[in-house]
Structure 1
Amino acid sequence: MGLTDDDKNHVRAAWGHVSKNPEAFGAECLIRLFTAHPTTKTYFSHFDLHENSPQIRAHGKKVIDALTQAVHNLDDIPGALSKLSDLHAEKLRVDPVNFPLLGHCILVTLACHNHGPLNASTILSMDKFMAVTSKALVARYR
């Protein structure tokens, strides 16, 4: 499932708002992930998991910055996320099921901060983008 030119345009347009404030947006996504899927907290046992903790804000920024890099490289998302895929598979050993969970939390957060309803085309394009991103991140697990 590749991204069409129309999908890429929708993703770029929707992501513009997110990339302007990566720390706050990323922190909100992580808090949403930890609340909805408490088992994901096991990878962050050394973090202060409160909403405004510096660790959550810093890691949230890393997540959004990595996804912004993917948005800037929509024609080669696996290449853009290759090092991150290696890190999560080989060093951190994050269960691959967590990437789609985070993707869903990102979409929900995006919808919460949208200044008007997200249209179906944008939602579909963002969902496809998150699926391609998740697939790229688990590529090194094989």
Structure 2
Amino acid sequence: MLTQREKELLAQIWERNIPVADDIGAEALLRMFTTFPGSKTYFSHLDISARSPHLLSHGRKIVLAIAKASKDIDRLTDTLAPLQTLHAYRLRIDPANFKLFSHCMLVTLASNMGDSFTPVAHAAMDKYLSAFSAVLSEKYR
């Protein structure tokens, strides 16, 4: 799936973005809610306005989960098993939202990282987020 160089690049990207995980995650979520309004369904009980505490908190959780899983991509299914169960059985999130969020995360990273988000970095992140979304969706089958 990913080359060793791509895995190293992902590690560098997430290491750089961990300190701003709440901002990156909240921005990606807000992009998703704005662009795909149907995705807000699962958050109707939270304040999802820009920079709200709920959005920042949930955004941070998502970014930290994505960053943590990127450290051991070869065991992605094992690493994400608890999140698979949570999203499929307890939260019952539409798995299409994982792909939508992945796209919004790519746009957010590109806008925040500027020139350092090279085409190679973009391709590596796209492959990783696609795998991440696919693994989260596995429990729905």
The interval holding the TM-score normalised by the smaller chain is: over 0.9
The secondary structure found in structure 2 opposite 1:75 is helix
Deviations 1:38-85 (A, max 9, x none): 100000000111111111111111111111111122221111111001
Q: TM-score, normalised by structure 1?
A: 0.94
d(CA) in 2 for partners of 1:124, 1:25: 19
The letter of the residue matching 1:140 is K
d(CA) in 2 for partners of 1:26, 1:81: 18
Root mean square deviation, CA, Å: 1.2
Hey, which of these two has a bigger chunk of helix by percent?
Answer: 2
Match of 2:55 in 1: 56
The secondary structure found in structure 2 opposite 1:21 is helix
Match of 1:137 in 2: 136
Deviations 1:5-52 (A, max 9, x none): 122112112222221211111111111110111100000000111111
d(CA) in 2 for partners of 1:117, 1:20: 17
Question: Cα distance, 1:115 vs. partner?
Answer: 3.9
Unpaired runs of at least 5, structure 2:
none
Question: Cα distance, 1:101 vs. partner?
Answer: 0.5
Q: How does 1:19-30 map to 2 (within 5 A)?
A: 19-30=18-29
d(CA) in 2 for partners of 1:31, 1:78: 27
d(CA) in 2 for partners of 1:108, 1:16: 18
Match of 2:99 in 1: 100
Sequence identity (%): 38
Question: Cα distance, 1:117 vs. partner?
Answer: 5.0
Q: How does 1:1-142 map to 2 (within 5 A)?
A: 2-116=1-115, 118-142=117-141
d(CA) in 2 for partners of 1:115, 1:37: 24
Q: How many residues align?
A: 141
Q: TM-score, normalised by structure 2?
A: 0.94
Runs of 4+ in 1 over 6 A off after TM superposition: none
d(CA) in 1 for partners of 2:41, 2:114: 34
